[in-house]
A and B are shown apart, each in its own frame.
Chain A
Amino acid sequence: MTAAPAAATRRPGLGARLANLVLPVFTGLLLLFLFSPIGVMIAFSFNDPAGRQNITWQGFTVRNYFDLWGRSQITTPMINSLLIATVSTVVATTFGTMIGLALTRFAFRGRWIMNMLIFIPITAPEIILGASLLTLWVSLGVERGFLTILAAHIMFNISFVVVTVRARLAGMNQSLEEAGMDLYADGRTTFWKITFPIIFPGILSAALLAFALSIDDYVITLFSAGHTLTFPLWVFGVSRLGIPPEVNVLGTLIFLTAFAFIGVQLWGQRRQGRAAPITLVGR
C-alpha cells in the first residue's frame, strides 16, 4: 500500500515547527532561571578558593565538607538555628494544633476575633513584627538572646500551624467523630483513634513549614537576637567580607535535607493514594 502514509509523511511547515518549540524552550529557560542559583551554590561548595572570596572557580575539592565541623564560629550559629527551629516547631505545632481544633470544633466567645488575630503574624510585614518585638523586649527589660529568638519564632510559627491544621480539619467529615463516639469511643479515644490520624498529614505539613520558616528567618530574628548568632545572621555577617565556601556547604546540606523531606512526603502521599497538600487557606 502506498497511499496510506501520505498524510504522515507530509512535513509540517517551518512556522508550525517553531511554534511547537516555544513552550518547551520557555519552560526550560524558566527552570534554568529558578534553579541555576541553587546549582551555583552546590557547585561552589566544592570550590577550592585561594582567599576568602568564593566567586571564581579555582578547583575541585571536598575539603570544605570536612573542614567546617571543627570551627565553632560556623557550628555555633548552625546549632542555634537547628535548636530554635526544632523547639519552636514542636511548641508551635502542639499549641497551633490545639488552637486549630478549638477554632473549628467549638463555638466560644471571641472565636471570630481569634480567627482574625491569628492571621496577623502571617500578613504583617516581618520588619514591623521584628521592630515591635524589639520594643517589647526593651520595654520589658528582657535581655535579648537565644530565648527571645525562640519566643519570636514560636509566635509566628503558631499562626502558620493554626491555619494549616484548620484547613485540614475543615476538610474532615465531622460525622467521623460521631461515628467514633457511636462505636463506644469516648472523647479522648475518638481524638487519638480518629481525629488525630486523619489530620496528621496536615499537622506534619504544618510542622515542616514551621521548621522551614524558622531556620531561615532573618528579619524578625535580627531584632530579637542580641549577641546570639543564628545561621542566617552569621551568613549575612560574613557576606560583607566575602562569602566563604562553608556557606555553600551548609546551604547545600539544608537544601538536600529539604529535598529529602519533600521526597518522603510525596512517597507517603503516593502510598496513601490521596494528597495532603500544604494548604494555607481554610476551605
Chain B
Amino acid sequence: MPQSVDVRLDHITKRFHEVVAVDDLSLEVERGEFFSMLGPSGCGKTTTLRMIGGFEEATSGTIYLGDADVTGQPPFKRDVNTVFQNYALFPHLSVFENVAFGLRRRKVAASEIVTQVGAMLELVELPGYEARKPSQLSGGQQQRVALARALINRPRVLLLDEPLGALDLKLRKQMQLELKRIQTEVGITFIYVTHDQEEAMTMSDRIAVMRAGRIEQLGNPEELYERPRTAFVAGFLGVSNLLEGDVAGGDGSLVTVKLHDGTLLRAPADGAATTGPVRIGVRPEKLRVDARAEAGASNGLNALSGTVLDASYIGVSTQYLVQTAEGHRLTVYAQNLDTAGAGELLAGGQHVQLTWKPQHTFVISGTAEHVAGDPHLTEEGESA
C-alpha cells in the first residue's frame, strides 16, 4: 500500500529575473516523514521551502498539500507552519501570546488556548515562561518558542528553515535530538532545510541533496553516504576519495574498473554505468593502510600502493594522506585500534598498500567535475 503523500511538488520552477533559483523540481514528501533539503547556499533549498510556505510564488509548476492544489494560495490559507531561520518571534508579545497567535487567529476558545499553550510549552520544555518577552530568552529558548508557536497549530507539514543555524555547536547537537524527539512525538511531517550535512544525516528519514536549483540525489542518509551517485554528493556528505578509470568488465554483482595506470579495482554493479569512463570512490574510513608495501590483493580486496605524504594523529583516529603512483591523493582515517600513541605512526615517505572491500566502493558515471568532487572545497559544510 502506498504511503499517503503530504507535499507534492510538480515541476516547480522559480526565476528571480534572469536567475533560476529552482529548476523544474519535482518531489514527494510522505506523511510523518522527516525530510531534509541539504545543499550549499544558493542551491534553491530555502526558495523551495518558501514556495511550500506560500512566501514565494512559483514561476511555473504546481504545489499540492495532500490532494489540494495550493499553488496560488497565500500563506495564511495553507495548512503549513514555518520555523524561521531567525525565529521571527513577535518582540512585543509575551511567550504565551506568541504561541497562542495562530490559535487566536482561528478563533479557538480562550480556555482551550490556555490548555493548549500550556501543553505545548511543556512539550518544548519551557513551562512557566508564559509571561516572558522574547528578548528575555536565550537563543535556545527562543528556538523552542518558535517551534511551539508553529507546532501548536498542528499543521499538515512543518517547515524549518535552518532553525539551528544561530545556536552554538553544543546546543545545536542537543536541539537536533530534541527536534527528532518532538517530531516522533507529534507525528507531523517535517521539511527541514540545512546546509549542515551532519545535521541532516542525524535527523532525517530522507534527504534531498540540492545543487543549482535541482535535486542531485534523493535517498536515506545511508544510501547517500554509501552510494553517492555524483561527485558533488560524495563531496558534500563527508570526505571521499575519487579515482578515474574505465569500466573494463563485470561478473554479475561486481564491475571491474581499470584505472589509467592499469590497476584493476572492483565495485558493486548496482545502478552505475557499465561502460565508458567512470570515477570510483571510497570513503576514508573504509581504507586499510598496510606498511608491507607489496602485501598483495588477497581475499578479493581492492588494493592500491602509494606513499605516505602526511600523517596526523587526532586521538580517536589517525589521518593519513597517501599519494598513489598515478599521483592521486587519498585520505585515510585509520582507527587507532592497535597503536599506543603518536609514536607508532607511519612516517612520511613510507611505501604502503591501501586495501578495501569492493562492496565499500561506489561508482560515479562520467568524468571530471573537479571542483564539486574536491572534498577540501566542501569540507566547510560539515562540523567537527
Contact = CB atoms under 8 A, between A and B. Distances in A.
A180 B81 CA distance: 10
A186 B76 contact: yes
A274 B76 contact: no
Contacts of A182: 53-55, 75-76, 80-82, 150
Interface in A95-123: none
Interface stretch (A9-17, A139-147, A170-178, A237-245): A170-178
A183 B74 contact: no
A175 B102 contact: no
B170 interface: no
Interface residues of B, number: 26
B101 A183 contact: yes
Contacts of B106: 184
A186 B90 contact: no
A184 B88 contact: no
Given A179-B82, A273-B135, A274-B135, A185 B76 contact: yes
B105 interface: yes
B153 A176 contact: no
B91 A183 contact: no
Nearest to B74: A181
B149 interface: yes
B64 interface: no
A184 B154 CA distance: 13
Interface residues of A, number: 19
Interface string B91-119: 11000000001100110000000000000
Nearest to A197: B92
A205 B13 CA distance: 45
Given A175-B84, A175-B86, A273-B135, A184 B102 contact: yes
A84 B84 CA distance: 46
A36 interface: no
A175 B56 CA distance: 13
B74 A184 contact: no
A198 interface: yes
Given A173-B86, A175-B84, A274-B135, A186 B74 contact: yes
Nearest to A176: B88
Contact of B88 (A179, A186, A189): A179
Nearest to A172: B91
Interface in B102-147: 102, 105-106, 133, 135
21 contacts: A173-B88, A176-B90, A178-B84, A180-B101, A181-B55, A182-B53, A182-B54, A182-B75, A182-B80, A182-B82, A182-B150, A183-B102, A183-B105, A183-B153, A185-B76, A186-B74, A189-B105, A197-B92, A198-B90, A198-B92, A273-B135
Interface of A: 173, 175-176, 178-186, 189, 193-194, 197-198, 273-274
